[in-house]
Amino acid sequence: MTEDPRTTLTRLRSSIDNIDAALVYLLAERFKATKQVGHLKAEHGMPPSDPAREEQQVARLRSLAEQADLDPAFAEKWFNFVVAEVIRHHEGLRDGNGAAAV
């Protein structure tokens, strides 16, 4: 006997909701770590961005995405979006305007 489509939909949506919640908490942990990096960079006069590291991370994440059967271009777009926000916060710390609330 097969499951009713509405029951299946509810079950799948519940799984998606749980994954979304996990992603939010993982992003929060990531930003806690990058905030510490931003403070360290600001205290020691280091630049807010590190293009060489970002390039390495893009290559690493694209490879991981391929292994996970996720579109590597999407993984790169996600990473670039997150890094842009991190850099904005690092610039705020550097400039002393407290923009590093994340």
Overall average pLDDT of the 10-34 stretch? 97
Number of CB atoms found within 10 A of residue 27's CB: 13
Residues of the chain above pLDDT 90, percent: 89
Q: What's the pLDDT at 91?
A: 93
What was the pLDDT predicted at 98? Answer: 62
CA distance 69 to 63: 10
- Judge if pTM exceeds 0.85: no
Please state, in angstroms and rounded to a whole number, the distance separating the CA atoms of residues 46 and 11. 48
Is residue 65 within 8 Å of 75, Cβ to Cβ?
yes
Q: What is the pLDDT of residue 97?
A: 76
45: left (phi over 0), alpha (psi -120 to 50) or beta: left
